[in-house]
Amino acid sequence: MTNPQTPLSPSHFHRITNTANPSNPTLDIVNDHGTQSSTGLLKLTREGYYSGQYWAFIPSASDPNAVRLRTWWLGPNRLLDVYADDTSKALLRRADDTPHALDWKVGEWGDGTWWIGNEVSGVLKVMDVGGEDGRRVVLREKDEGVKTQRWRIEVIREISEDEFYDRPATPGEGEGC
């Protein structure tokens, strides 16, 4: 059954799953220091209903062909970025930490899978699977022949949390009884 929601809907959370990694396929955040002090490092793990696996694709204000990514778990003030000194690593960085590579390109491979990449180094590098255990996320040059660069993106649920929208709450919205 096909999902009736449009992929990359800015009003929905999505799950990002690597199609070549059957044991630990889902993009998640390392839970190392809680939401306030998290390093924001990425990992691949088993699919579950964990807020670190709920990704929002927000249209970029600076590039109409790009998105910014954030998770439900770390909230709207943490955005996916690339390490300045090692462009093979990505992490969710605080928006006020002067991130430099917030704009991500997302494209279809033509087989129902997607690539997710960044051009901070001047070369498009896309998310890939790394490490001997296949649980690390690395950025490598885009290569159609590399199966570990293929991701399935599916809608999980609508974003109902006001803080994820760049708009003030409607008066009376969110008030308890």
Question: Residues 101-114: pLDDT tens digits?
Answer: 789 999 999 999 99
Q: How far apart are CA 28 and CA 21, in angstroms?
A: 14
List the helix and strand counts (H, then E) for the chain: 1, 12
Q: What is the pLDDT of residue 62?
A: 87
Q: How far apart are CA 107 and CA 50, in angstroms?
A: 25
Q: What is the pLDDT of residue 131?
A: 77
Instruction: Indicate whether 3 pLDDT > 70.
Output: no
Instruction: Indicate whether 177 pLDDT > 70.
Output: no
Dihedral angle sign, alpha carbons of residues 46, 156, 100, 18: positive
DSSP characters over 33-94:
SHHHH---BEEEE---S-GGG-EEEEE-SS-TT-EEEEETTT-TTEEEEE-SS-TT-EEEEE
Q: What is the pLDDT of residue 167?
A: 46
Question: Residues 124-172: pLDDT tens digits?
Answer: 999 999 877 788 999 999 999 999 999 999 999 999 998 887 643 333 4
List phi, psi (to 5°) of 37: -115, 15
Instruction: Indicate whether 84 pLDDT > 60.
Output: yes
Q: What is the pLDDT of residue 137?
A: 94
Instruction: Indicate whether 17 pLDDT > 50.
Output: yes
Which tokens in the block code for residue 129? 């699977």
Question: Residues 34-53: pLDDT tens digits?
Answer: 888 899 999 999 999 999 99
Q: Exposed/middle/buried for 10, CB within 10 Å: 0-12, 13-18, 19+? A: middle
Domains, the chain, in order of start with CATH, read 12-164 (2.80.10.50)
Which of the two residues, 23 and 19, has the higher pLDDT score?
A: 19
Q: What is the mean pLDDT of the chain?
A: 86
